[in-house]
Homo-oligomer: A and B are copies of this chain.
Amino acid sequence: MAVAGVTSPDGKLGPILSGDCVGILAGGGPLPGQVAQAVAALGRRVFIVGFQDFAEPAVIGSWPHRYVRLAAAGEILSCLRAEGCRDLVLIGPVRRPSFSDLRPDAAGARIMARIGRALFSGDDGLLAAIVRVLGEEGFAIHGAHEFLSASVGRRGVLGRVRPDAGAQADIDRGRTVVDAIGRLDIGQGCVVQDGLVLAVEAMEGTDRMLLRAGECRQPGRPGGVLVKMLKPGQDRRADLPTIGPDTVRRAAQVGLRGIAFQAGATLLTDPDLCIAAADAAGLFLVGIDAEGEN
């Protein structure tokens, strides 16, 4: 069992420094492996439940793990209990499942009933409901950012390129836009070029929004800015905005001049590579406060 209230030397990781195995519920991308490494570095055992079709063998294969269907909640819970995991981390993207594909097991069907309407609300509502249900099942859910503090984007300019006054104005407008769409549980990002909102992210995700923004781009003007922020009030234990070197390269390809992300609430999958990619492409990469925070 995790010992609640134990304080770590830096005063932050107290409750997760000691105790039994930490369970990682893993979607795609490299972050589940990074969380596993960070957990192991704290002297804790790791067990990864990899969501079938999402978790990547190259990432989780070298850790104790098991692949489970997303909706096989019974299997997931019994496996976490058998491994003695009380502390859990949800990390890595998972596409919202289609209901015809779900095929929940018996426990999964019961849990879906408990999640209820949130299954059909925005992602934020769904993830918050999953975190709540896991809590009711006796697990303690932690945010990946608690383990990956070095990957949490910090405030200020990260690379060599700084936003100019025009870019700063676009960042400010983008932040207002993302704040508004986030409050409506629509999405976490938008692209603004010279005051004009080129694209707003909903279900399609950041990559597709970037491609569209590139196609709607106004020629003859400075490039646009991608702004990614947490939804206001969003639970930080699920679905933090994430930026990787691919995001940076794609932003450059579609003619953007920079990326602004919420400082302290965005994961950079590989900060050094992100900065190197931004510097190489002449893009800025800047951590900003949420609307109303500064």
A residues sitting closer than 8 Å to B (CB atoms) are 96, 98-101, 117, 120-122, 176-177, 180-181, 183-187, 190, 194-204, 208, 212, 215-216, 218-221
Can you report 13 residue pairs joining A to B where beta carbons are below 8 Å apart? A98-B218, A120-B195, A122-B196, A180-B180, A180-B181, A180-B184, A184-B197, A198-B203, A199-B202, A199-B204, A200-B200, A200-B202, A204-B212
A188 to B258, CA, bound (A): 27
Chain B neighbourhood of A201, CB < 8 A:
200
Besides A121-B196, A196-B203, A199-B203, 5 more A-B contacts (Cβ < 8 Å) are A98-B218, A98-B220, A180-B183, A186-B200, A197-B202
With A122-B196, A221-B99 known to touch, is A203 a contact of B216 (CB < 8 Å)?
Answer: yes
- CB A187 to nearest CB in B, in angstroms, measures 8
Closest to A125 in B: B195
Sort A-B residue pairs by CB-CB distance and give the 6 closest, nearest first.
A99-B220, A203-B216, A100-B220, A98-B219, A200-B200, A186-B197
Closest to A219 in B: B98
Chain B neighbourhood of A184, CB < 8 A:
176-177, 180, 197
